[in-house]
Chains A and B, each alone.
Chain A
Amino acid sequence: MNIYVIMKRTFDTEEKIAIENGEISDDGVNFIINPYDEYAIEEAIKLRDDNDGEVTVVTVGEEEAEKELRTALAMGCDKAVLINNEDVEDYDQFSTTVILAKYFEDKEYDIILGGNVTMDNGTGQIGPRLAEKLGIAHVSTIVDLKLKGEKLTVERDAEGDAEVIEVSLPVIVTAQQGLNEPRYPSLPGIMKAKKKPLEVLELDDLDLDEDDAEGLTESVEVFLPPEKAAGKVLEGDMEDQVQELVKLLRTEAKVI
């Protein structure tokens, strides 16, 4: 089986956001594999272990993403690919899709997995957009996956309801929390990962021009949410506190 995982590095979820010179600052920020992509990696490794084949993890991003690719290799992926997206103007989800579609053009794939959304931009566009570009089916936000021959049965989380969906390969699926428990890289895994192939590609290598991937949207401003004023902590007898809160929510906050 040819299994691919699309991965992105993101800020650690513990990180606070700071803005410098009108941009989100990554100064001193700790990066991780996007948590939803970790579910995709875990599922890909399990699929390979049950069905043979190999797992290739692909990221589009900056050179530094090599670190997260090595982590994915240490978890058990077989090969890694980093596609450098430097110098693309107004980089957006269209850009990523153009680059990935070009990369997959001459590949043979049975299943492509990814997270259903990233922690940073949080659009959830890449899976469905790429499926459309490749002309294959997709199912997003899956929490369960079973493969029987060429038939895949997945459970999709649709706002809390579970849809049981059947689809044939090749397919793109995007992972939702609950799909599995991603493993931690083991020490032997980390040692092995150092020797696994990690290919770095430039847009040129894909016969792409920076202009081909130029975004269709542009970011005009980033800003932090306004600081909240200190709240009111109530005091006194518990019954009185609760009655006061009920009153405040109805008359002051007017939300009930």
Chain B
Amino acid sequence: MGRKTLVLAEARENQLRQVSYEAIAAGKKVADGGEVIAVLLGDNVSSLAPVLGHYGADRVLTVEDENLKNYTPDGYKQALKQVIDGETPEAIIMGHTAIGKDLSAVLAGKLNSALVSDVTEIDAEGDLTFTRPIYAGKAFEKKRFKEGLVFVTIRPNNIEALEKDESKDVSVSPFDVAIRDLRTIVKDIVKKTSSGGDLSEAKIIISGGRGVKSKDGFEPLQELADVLGGAVGASRGACDADYCDYSLQIGQTGKVVTPDLYIACGISGAIQHLAGMSNSKVIVAVNKDPEANIFNVADYGIVGDLFEVVPLLTKYFKEALQEA
């Protein structure tokens, strides 16, 4: 018996987010042969819809309304609630993103439903089981839900998207909703995200600590990130010293990240920082102090001054990538 499953797809700057494809793959597992329906909310998003089918959704619903241009809990809740009432799914999957983690909790609250947040692995053999980090990744727990509708949010970069199949015919249909009485009003959005985008979704992160020494000290890191198509992060030490914005902080307070490659520059490796990044797939440490704790979790280490090492990395990666 399959489970009819809704997947919330998200677009950012008119591009679908990778985590949405991952959520479809997660939805397939949870659905266990049941129908997987991707839902795309926004004010002008229908042109993006077919790709969701190419990544595995059985059909796609587009919900377009001027009130869905920016995320508000009320607007998105009302829209998705109407889709839920219309489709009566048994499971709903979202990315554990700014939108997904908020909206899933709102709707789970409204519908008195189970919600398993920030899932990194789904085991669909036997009883459906979800693995999620606790204590910011210092430990993991496996969870099950009991009965009724379940919401699941998945952490970006952990569940692999299905292969894209562009030959597939995709059924896309609009779903009409009525949205009223928004209690929160978005007056303005100030873009702060640097190139390379959001840290939680970045495949490559170049991160700086106290060793970066100043605001300007982040420049070589940004140059390396630009060459590798990565994002720049920081340790708490660097944020507390005002070298960068708190939105860059990785650690137990701050963001927990799991990129393919994490390059820690001038970061000593306090336990709070390690909690936020030690589940990255490959870790490189660059530090002057050979005794620094960061070397204990690093796959590769260079003992040296980041201001010497990082520009060299930029230079040789540039060369290597040009040859490729």
Contact = CB atoms under 8 A, between A and B. Distances in A.
A127 B73 CA distance: 12
A165 B70 CA distance: 11
A129 B114 CA distance: 11
A71 to B, nearest CB: 18
A139 interface: yes
Contacts of B302: 233-234, 238, 241-242, 245
Interface in B116-166: 116-118, 129, 133-146, 148
Contact of B317 (A126, A161, A224, A256): A256
Interface string A142-166: 0100000000010001111111111
A93 interface: yes
A219 B282 contact: no
Contact of A125 (B108, B186, B275, B290): B108
Interface string A1-14: 00000000001011
A160 B199 contact: yes
A17 B309 contact: no
B186 A164 contact: yes
Contacts of A28: none
A56 to B, nearest CB: 22
Interface string A167-195: 11000000001100000000000000000
Nearest to A230: B296
Contacts of A200: none
A231 B299 contact: yes
B170 interface: no
Nearest to B319: A246
Contacts of A119: 135-136, 252-253
A129 B282 CA distance: 36
Interface residues of A, number: 80
B187 interface: yes
Contact of B189 (A17, A138, A141, A164): A164
Contacts of B141: 219, 221-223
Contacts, number: 262
A225 B139 contact: yes
Interface stretch (A76-84, A104-112, A201-209, A247-255): A247-255
Interface string B276-314: 001101111100001000011111111110001100110
A218 B143 contact: yes
A222 B139 contact: yes
B138 A16 contact: yes
Give the interface SS of chain A, mostly helix, strand, loop or mixed. Answer: mixed
A36 B254 CA distance: 10
A132 interface: yes
A16 B139 CA distance: 10
B304 A225 contact: no
Given A128-B73, A231-B300, A241-B304, A162 B145 contact: no
B134 A222 contact: yes
B107 to A, nearest CB: 8
A137 B74 contact: yes
A137 B301 contact: no
Contacts of B190: 161-164
B51 interface: no
Contacts of A90: 146
Contact of A231 (B129, B245, B290, B298): B298
A196 to B, nearest CB: 28
Contacts of B77: 132
Contacts of A220: 129, 142-144
Contacts of A132: 77, 105-107, 109-110
A30 interface: no
A94 B114 CA distance: 7
Nearest to B200: A159
Contacts of B248: 160
Contact of A256 (B135, B256, B261, B304): B261
Interface string B170-199: 000000000000011111111111000011
Interface of B: 70-71, 73-74, 77, 97-99, 101-102, 104-110, 112-118, 129, 133-146, 148, 183-193, 198-200, 204, 228, 245-249, 252-254, 256, 260-261, 271-272, 275, 278-279, 281-285, 290, 295-304, 308-309, 312-313, 316-317, 320-321
Given A132-B106, A177-B253, A223-B142, 15 more contacts: A24-B139, A121-B134, A124-B105, A125-B104, A137-B73, A164-B187, A218-B145, A220-B129, A223-B140, A224-B138, A225-B139, A233-B290, A238-B304, A239-B312, A256-B317
